[in-house]
Structure 1
Amino acid sequence: MEQGLSDAEGDGGDPAAAPALADVLVFLEASVESLCAVEWSAVDADALADAVGRVEVLARRLEASGCRATAELAALHGRKGRTPGGVAAMLAERLGLAKGTVHGRIDAGGRQATPAGRAAASGEITGEHERIIAKAVSALPGTLGGSAKTRFAEELTRFARSAAPADLRAEAARRVAELCPARGRDREEHQERQRSARLGAVRADGTSTLTMTLTPRGRALVERALCDFGGPGGAVPCEPGSDDRTPEQRAHDALVHQWALGSTVDPARPRGIATIVVRLTPEQLEDPHALVRTDSGTQLSVRQAVSMAGAMPWFVSMLRDGREELQRIDVDAHPERRIASAIQRLVLYAAHGGCTFPGCTAPARRSQFHHVREWSRGGPTTVANGALGCPVHHGFVGDGPAGWTTIVNPASPGLCTWLPPGVDRLTDA
């Protein structure tokens, strides 16, 4: 960076000021060297707490001073005809920083006459606080007078002195919204566009990630769940003082508990009688570590599957010799109805596990009830005449020349055989 400095200093700088600056920097470097040599483990708690606070203030002031120096250097280069982008690129390369970081320092150095800039220069707030306030001020409408903007910045600066950056950001957004009510609708539409949830792939250890961008309503619901169930002992009963989970683990358990509360068994629900269906054989129940799958394809152990049921009502379907035994439930009470009942779909979930098309791995949750003998040709809505088909393969069935057909397979009770176009008998398949 020496060449960049000398280029700028040759443009009217005061040579007498250079030795003073050099002396200050030498003294600063020696002081930092001495500070780094301190054996902190030999210092008592009170002295350490005092040192941490003083070092934090010094670090904030050094950051602000560096930003001011960077802004002055950029201004000197600007007077020599260099563009701001060129100056930032040159400094970024010499300092090993991102160009955007240098731009941010130049901008911050030019804002030190503002209320937040002065507070950052004195170490009262951090550089991040100052940037949040500057962004909030820039979001105010141009019709708002300069004095009103200054008061707004002063109020946020006072708030920032005792607030974390995240809290300051939320408070700034709230105050901007109050001053700009006309933007409320656009803001809500923007929030709705930004909402998202992405469930990551299952990793080698069986865990997976969930990344979400929450609307204010979504955040409020999450915060409520964390408040209700995210404390020590929340969602996981234990003796007082014995909860050794981390805050992140407690948050995970709180959300899972909240979701489980919403997974009720309700026959009136149109999309199914159970939210999560796991198929277990008697042999698998003997081994709590055996791996099974839910109707959506998620793999988990038998112990985890059984623990999900908890004290909630659930259905256990026993399969013997490939046949469904649900003697106490009349699953085919209304064969004349075209739409299968929730219980009928549940039986097929347990019996088939997913799409019955050869080679298809679509899970039950993404499959539909298919009439083996078509409804339009008198096929009843019964478990015996039903099969699971994913939307793609269910769409294969039709009367046209390219349509597939399905027939009951006597050799495999409860399953059907899919016949390709042009084949109308099992012996021809």
Structure 2
Amino acid sequence: MLGVLAQADDAIDDCAATSIWALPDDELLASLDATHTVAQRLAAVQLGLVRELDARGLAVARGASSTAVWLRERLRLSGRSARELVQLAATVDAAPTAVREAMLTGAVTVEQGRVVAETVATLPAEAGPEVAEKATQLLIGWADRFDPAILRRLGERVLTHVAPDLADQAELAALERATERAEARRHVTLSEQQDGQVRLTGSLDTETASLLREAIDPLSAPTGEHDDRSPGQRRADALGEICRLALRTGHLPDSGGDRPQLVVTVSLDALVNGVRAGTLETGAQLTPGAVRRLACDAAVLPAVLGGNNQVLDVGRQRRLFTGPLRRALVLRDGGCAFPGCDRPSRWCDGHHVRHWADGGATALGNAVLLCGHHHRLIHQGDWTVRISADGQPDFLPPRWLDPDRTPRRNLYHRRC
């Protein structure tokens, strides 16, 4: 396969060297269609490779917590894109052979292939393979005329065309499945942006969405004639107020062994020079005004950092057994310190570099933050972790993966 791909790579070089501006209109349009078809066919080949890699467990064997996490680092994808790639590969693999063949020949695009595969997967079991095959062929035929969104809507009523006697009963069953899918796919994501904002995205099931509306609506109303906030701004402010109300109740569960709290850090130089901007555990910056506002409602823990983010002093609170050391670990590692892992600090535990049973101290210089998967992986003994001279954790891979055992670090988490 590598030889064939090399030939394809050379062909792309030839295409890139072509003077596109000199192409006649007809050839320009035909070339656009051809590049799209080739790209979709090659994407289908990639899905097959991803599915085989996932089935063999190659990513987990190399220390990753999942195939998606490994692909994110290997192919330099976003976490979302990597997860979707693995999920789509599995969906297409489980679909009828005709779906994969249509994608490989370019008869359907990757998006259309996903729609066909997911639609066929939702057909009732009593429809049988013959009905499923008819539905598959009908949807593939429609793909020549309709985009993925319309194709999905047509797929919702495909049984009326291929098995009318099952359509009514299947419609009720489809509603129940839709509800189950909504619950299974519910998620909320907070993504750091480059402009100081955080993007909030997600998908909720009907019940949870109704609860959110009931909670937000009373707090989203305009406060008076001079309230010039947009509806979206009022909803954003209402969500923040709901969070403040929840934090004040004192009923939230512990997060990583600590009560929910705000940790604001400042470098030693910045402290000496009188710069008062604060840094959160995520690496996001807060203005002095924002820090003061938050300090009115939350326990703000002072942490002074020296060179290389070494913790010189960490503020203390009463009744916290592991609080100060854990906060130091979070400040230093930002999350799971294993290379390529993106799991946040609240999902992680402290690990003794030199085991406690061997006389290792419970101290920052002998600790590293690891998620459950990589904590177990380190204890298996193939990977080795050490604290380097600059106070940061280094991970040495097993010799079967890297004969030189070149030290690796996690570059995913943002440091202060």
Could you say which TM-score interval applies, normalised by the shorter chain? 0.3 to 0.5
Give TM-score scaled by structure 2 length: 0.43
Higher relative contact order (CA 8 A, sep 6+): 2
Q: Which has the higher helix share?
A: 2
User: Bigger radius of gyration, 1 or 2?
Assistant: 1
